[in-house]
Amino acid sequence: MYTFDKSLAAFRRAQQVIPGGIPGHLGPTEGLHLPNDGFPKFATRAQGARFWDLDGNEFIDWMCGYGPNILGYNDPDVAAAAQAQAKKEDVVSLPSTVMIDFAEMLVDQVASADWAMFAKNGGDTTTLAIMTARAATLRKKVVFVKGFYHGVAPWTQKLDYPGVLEEDVANNLYVPWNDLDALRTLLSENRGEVAALISTPYMHGNFVDNQLPAEGYWQAVRKLCDEHGVVLIIDDVRAGFRLDLAGSDHYFGFEADLICFCKALANGYNVSALLGREALKEAVSSITYTGSYWMSAVPFAAGIATQRKLRELDAPALFERLGTRLTDGLTEAASEAGFTLVASGAPALFYLRVADPADSLMLHQDWIAECVRRGAYLTSHHNHFLNAAVTEADVDRTVEIAADAFAALRTRHPAVV
Amino acid sequence: MYTFDKSLAAFRRAQQVIPGGIPGHLGPTEGLHLPNDGFPKFATRAQGARFWDLDGNEFIDWMCGYGPNILGYNDPDVAAAAQAQAKKEDVVSLPSTVMIDFAEMLVDQVASADWAMFAKNGGDTTTLAIMTARAATLRKKVVFVKGFYHGVAPWTQKLDYPGVLEEDVANNLYVPWNDLDALRTLLSENRGEVAALISTPYMHGNFVDNQLPAEGYWQAVRKLCDEHGVVLIIDDVRAGFRLDLAGSDHYFGFEADLICFCKALANGYNVSALLGREALKEAVSSITYTGSYWMSAVPFAAGIATQRKLRELDAPALFERLGTRLTDGLTEAASEAGFTLVASGAPALFYLRVADPADSLMLHQDWIAECVRRGAYLTSHHNHFLNAAVTEADVDRTVEIAADAFAALRTRHPAVV
């Protein structure tokens, strides 16, 4: 059984100089690493579908850096493309034409897109999308779908979060997921005032079972947006390229006006992109929007190599097949041990919840921690991610680990069994 | 004389798929590349103090990627550190301890800092600084110094910019640079309501002569902030590590509460950092703030190598010496040709303006373009940047080019001479 003594010692060292030790979604502060001593804190090496932690433990990694790792860590083809570009240039006083090559590739590949603009964070693209919609419509309000996450800019946070003002969120409206009646009512009540609707392609929020769109949902949303002159923004930062290389809007049979990509664009090389339709090209051009490293050439070269390889592998089909094999195996292992495990969302980004004999967050967390201690890196309240370096053997080994973890759970929680 | 036919053809290709062709500060859309056909648009290779454009022209580069290039492009020590780290890991489901190493190094090096938090854009750190100040003070208003640039988030833009709402800037107050009376009055009028004052360490804005702080200015500002409970935020994204490795607040003899770094942190590897004082550590920890690539290990390794080498070289002293040699040479070359050239700001980030015989933006732009056509990459309305790969020979060659450009200016603008 794995122990994490060196990780925990390093974490205490980190806390001295970094607020929270490990801030954000990779750290324990967001409550994703519970029980806290059941998770490693630092990695030292990553290759393919695996990483190794500071204590020397090896993990089959189902989090993929929370998305960026889509081909496998340190993919040789992407690394070669990045290194070749790095020898020429990266951040210079002028961009490289590799930026154009990547834009042309994405515009060709993503069904709804006529143009591409690059940035660094997913949140850079959601903010640019909102500003573009406001510039194009001269309206202020934005519809969010409850359970949303579109980055950390103040406009996409909540009023009770520290540092957020009422002015930041004054123009935000909210509807439940999959609720066309609520959306119809909201748009009617705010007729002529709504600039945009922003949503992920399906509801892959944290701490809840993930929900796919109901039959006809997106087609109806598209129609409502058209009727009300509302810009339809799809935040494909998390799901992008795992469901469909032409965009998750294409996967669900509709066309976004603006679509935001980040994590899986370049297999971990640092780039994000806002893609959009011709009608919004002038509006997006009018926004003052730039950043220190936004035209760095290495991530563009890495992105081209990544997208090419994803096409060659037909990666979304691979993720669907391996993700289904894994979630089927996990739910069966649960069942054999007398538990009910609910897998939700797309298999490429599966979400897990232990539902029975107790629908308890703590029970679920303990099961996840038992898996982690045995070498399957899962997390408790966030969707997981597939990558193309995963093998059937990795899936089967993970199912074995899960079964052992359920057995351990019986011992740790005798009362619930 | 250089021509840029291939660059201009590529730019037309870029315009098809990228709004504006080259959006942001590296492109012509912000008016920095005037006359438009007098500038190359794309680089293909960069090494040391030079880059080469798509037409094969070689440039001595005084823009340094608008800041990131501080040691010289493709510095071998930084590249070796980055490659060694890349072989181990970069963006993984857990951070590397190299993040702690870099935080410890910066906290040790930067005089005012007790902790460090990392992100990707300079603007990520200015936004985090503002949110932290608001969380700590439970106040809303922020004082800006006129001529400011703190990134592109809506809160730091202006109301007449497309996509910006009155709510975004509703809590912004403005004072002129170097005007203590105005600041004193503003803080009194808004007593108990001001969360923060945000400023660059000196006024290095675009389209104006850059201005250093008046004697005692920063000490008085520090005192006023203390009296009013205002968090003093220094945006050192542009000037950071070029004046003083301990921070530009240290250079001017005061201590910021929060200090923002980006561009020169890691010689172009993609990382930014907010550093701050112990009293704000709890407040910054409370902010929801994270990003997809924020814990990537390669830029941390590159940052350690960069800062170590900057110390070994005593780079700020080198920049002061070479920047002074250059601006002295340029103003003398102007004078000999019957022009007056004004150099302002710190020599490490010198700003230029042709002031006589005509204080004309167009005349200045034409002179800059004549320099660019001869291989000295300068720009018209933005400060320049020194890097440590620059030699005295590069400086002297640039002065020769500038003299030739002034001679050409006489021919192009006979009326003004």
pLDDT more than 90, % of chain A: 92
Residues of chain B in contact with residue A135, where contact means CB-CB under 8 angstroms, are: 162-163
* A263 plus A384 within the same structural domain: no
- How many residues does the structure list for chain B? 417
* B324 plus B229 within the same structural domain: no
Tokens of A34: 């519970």
- The reported pLDDT for the residue numbered B68 is 98
Number of domains, chain A: 2
Asked whether the beta carbons of residue B270 and residue A268 sit closer than 8 angstroms, the reply is no
Last residue of a domain, one of B313, B331, B365: B313
Domain of A202 in residue numbering reads as 76-312
> Distance between CA A175 and CA A178 in Å, rounded?
9
* B300 plus B324 within the same structural domain: no
Tokens of B265: 């942190």
CB of A104 less than 8 A from some CB of B: yes
* B309 plus B369 within the same structural domain: no
* B307 plus B339 within the same structural domain: no
pLDDT in tens, A271-291: 999 999 999 999 999 999 999
CATH code for the domain of B356: 3.90.1150.10
pLDDT in tens, B152-185: 999 999 999 999 999 999 999 999 999 999 999 9
Tell me the pLDDT of chain A averaged across its residues: 96
Q: Which of A7, A94, A368 to mutate to test the interface with B (most CBs of B within 10 A)?
A: A94
pLDDT in tens, B185-194: 999 999 999 9
Task: Give the helix/strand (H/E) hosting B116.
Answer: strand B115-119
pLDDT in tens, B285-298: 999 999 999 999 99
CB of A20 less than 8 A from some CB of B: yes
Last residue of a domain, one of B296, B313, B330: B313
pLDDT of A416 > 70? The answer is no
CA distance B359 to chain A (A): 27
Q: What's B234's DSSP letter? A: E
pLDDT of A417 > 70? The answer is no
Closest CA to B286 of B141, B402, B173, B135: B135
| Coil, helix or strand at residue B51 | strand
Nearest to B18 among A10, A100, A164 (CB): A100
Residues of chain B in contact with residue A53, where contact means CB-CB under 8 angstroms, are: 94
| Coil, helix or strand at residue B359 | coil
CA angle B232, B234, B240 (to 5 degrees): 160
> Distance between CA B63 and CA A284 in Å, rounded?
26
Asked whether the beta carbons of residue B163 and residue A132 sit closer than 8 angstroms, the reply is yes
> Distance between CA B105 and CA A42 in Å, rounded?
19
Last residue of a domain, one of A295, A312, A329: A312
* B156 plus B286 within the same structural domain: yes
Task: Give the helix/strand (H/E) hosting B356.
Answer: strand B351-356
> Distance between CA B216 and CA B214 in Å, rounded?
6
Looking at A97-101, A394-398, B412-416, which range is the least confident one?
Answer: B412-416
* A230 plus A341 within the same structural domain: no
Tokens of B115: 């902790």
> Distance between CA B2 and CA B56 in Å, rounded?
9
AA letter at A191 = R
pLDDT of A415 > 80? The answer is no
Q: Which of A109, A142, A270, A298 to mutate to test the interface with B (most CBs of B within 10 A)?
A: A270
CA distance A81 to chain B (A): 13
> Distance between CA A101 and CA A80 in Å, rounded?
17
Q: How far apart are the first and last CA of chain B?
A: 23
Asked whether the beta carbons of residue B69 and residue A51 sit closer than 8 angstroms, the reply is no
* A176 plus A84 within the same structural domain: yes
* A201 plus A279 within the same structural domain: yes
| Coil, helix or strand at residue B19 | coil
pLDDT of B97 > 70? The answer is yes
> Distance between CA A415 and CA B82 in Å, rounded?
51
pLDDT in tens, A188-214: 999 999 999 999 999 999 989 999 999
CA angle A140, A142, A145 (to 5 degrees): 170
pLDDT in tens, B49-67: 999 999 999 999 999 999 9
Between positions 250 and 309 of B, the ones with CB within 8 A of A are 262-263, 268, 270, 272, 281-296
pLDDT in tens, A303-319: 999 999 999 999 999 99
- DSSP annotation string for B124-180: HHHHHHHHHHHHHH---EEEEETT----SSGGGS-TTSTT--TTTTTTEEEE-TT-H
Angle, in degrees to the nearest 10, between helices A361-372 and A392-412:
130
pLDDT of B112 > 70? The answer is yes
Q: How many CB atoms lie within 10 A of CB B188?
A: 11
CB of A200 less than 8 A from some CB of B: no
Asked whether the beta carbons of residue A74 and residue B87 sit closer than 8 angstroms, the reply is yes
pLDDT of B284 > 70? The answer is yes
Look-up: residue for tokens 């080259």? B22
Looking at A304-308, B136-140, B410-414, which range is the least confident one?
Answer: B410-414
CB of B169 less than 8 A from some CB of A: no
- The reported pLDDT for the residue numbered B244 is 98
- The reported pLDDT for the residue numbered B133 is 98
* A177 plus A229 within the same structural domain: yes
pLDDT of A137 > 60? The answer is yes
* A192 plus A204 within the same structural domain: yes
Asked whether the beta carbons of residue A268 and residue B79 sit closer than 8 angstroms, the reply is no
Count interface pairs A-B at CB distance under 8 A: 323
pLDDT in tens, A42-96: 999 999 999 999 999 999 999 999 999 999 999 999 999 999 999 999 999 999 9
> Distance between CA B65 and CA B207 in Å, rounded?
19
> Distance between CA A155 and CA A166 in Å, rounded?
9
Give the 3-state secondary structure of B65-110: HHCCCCCCECCHHHHHHHHHHHHHCCCCCCCCCHHHHHHHHHHHHC
Task: Give the helix/strand (H/E) hosting B58.
Answer: strand B58-61
CA distance A104 to chain B (A): 6
CB of B154 less than 8 A from some CB of A: yes
Asked whether the beta carbons of residue A117 and residue B23 sit closer than 8 angstroms, the reply is yes
Phi, psi torsion values for A136, nearest 5 degrees: -75, -35
List all residues 6 or more positions away from A411 whose beta carbon is below 8 Å from its beta carbon. none
Average confidence (pLDDT) over B226-242: 98
Residues of chain A in contact with residue B27, where contact means CB-CB under 8 angstroms, are: 95
CA distance A171 to chain B (A): 9
Phi, psi torsion values for A141, nearest 5 degrees: -80, 150
CB of A45 less than 8 A from some CB of B: yes
CATH code for the domain of A220: 3.40.640.10
**Is there a contact between A72 and B92 (Cβ–Cβ < 8 Å)?**
no
pLDDT more than 70, % of chain B: 98
CA distance B78 to chain A (A): 12
Residues of chain A in contact with residue B49, where contact means CB-CB under 8 angstroms, are: none
Residues of chain A in contact with residue B121, where contact means CB-CB under 8 angstroms, are: 120-121, 124, 291-293
Look-up: residue for tokens 């290039």? B69
Strands (E), B204-302: 231-235, 258-261, 272-276
pLDDT of B41 > 60? The answer is yes
Phi, psi torsion values for A376, nearest 5 degrees: -110, 110
Look-up: residue for tokens 């000490």? B219
Q: How many CB atoms lie within 10 A of CB B320?
A: 17
Binning pLDDT at 50, 70 and 90, where does residue B413 land?
A: confident
Largest CA distance in chain A: 65
| Coil, helix or strand at residue B196 | strand
Give the 3-state secondary structure of chain A: CCCCHHHHHHHHHHHHHCCCCCCHHHCHHHCCCCCHHHCCCCEEEEEECEEEECCCCEEEECCHHHCCCCCCECCHHHHHHHHHHHHHCCCCCCCCCHHHHHHHHHHHHCCCCCEEEEECCHHHHHHHHHHHHHHHHCCCEEEEECCCCCCCCHHHCCCCCCCCCCCCCCCEEEECCCCHHHHHHHHHHCCCCEEEEEECCCECCCCCCCECCCCCHHHHHHHHHHHHCCEEEEECCCCCCCCCCCCHHHHCCCCCCEEEECHHHHCCCCCEEEEECHHHHHHHHHCCCCCCCCCCHHHHHHHHHHHHHHHHHCHHHHHHHHHHHHHHHHHHHHHHCCCEEEEECCHHHCEEEEEECCCCHHHHHHHHHHHHCCCEECCCCCCCCCCCCCCHHHHHHHHHHHHHHHHHHHHHCHHHC
pLDDT of A31 > 60? The answer is no
CB of B390 less than 8 A from some CB of A: no
pLDDT in tens, A246-261: 999 999 999 999 999 9
Binning pLDDT at 50, 70 and 90, where does residue A28 land?
A: confident
Q: Which of B8, B16, B17, B71 to mutate to test the interface with A (most CBs of A within 10 A)?
A: B17
> Distance between CA B332 and CA B221 in Å, rounded?
36
A92: nearest CA in chain B? B65
> Distance between CA A57 and CA A3 in Å, rounded?
8
Average confidence (pLDDT) over B209-237: 98
* B90 plus B184 within the same structural domain: yes
Residues of chain B in contact with residue A161, where contact means CB-CB under 8 angstroms, are: 287-288
Tell me the β-bridge partners of A211: A203
Binning pLDDT at 50, 70 and 90, where does residue B415 land?
A: low
Residues of chain A in contact with residue B131, where contact means CB-CB under 8 angstroms, are: 154, 162-164
Tokens of A214: 């109901």
Closest CA to A86 of B182, B362, B78: B78
Q: What's B278's DSSP letter? A: G
Tell me the β-bridge partners of B276: B115, B258
Angle, in degrees to the nearest 10, between helices B392-412 and B315-336:
30
CA torsion sign for A109, A111, A114, A119 is negative
b/e A21-51 (16+ beta carbons within 10 angstroms → b): bbbbbbbbbbebbbeeebbbbbbbbbebbbb
Tokens of B260: 């923002």
Tokens of A332: 């069966």
Binning pLDDT at 50, 70 and 90, where does residue B417 land?
A: low
Asked whether the beta carbons of residue A93 and residue B43 sit closer than 8 angstroms, the reply is yes
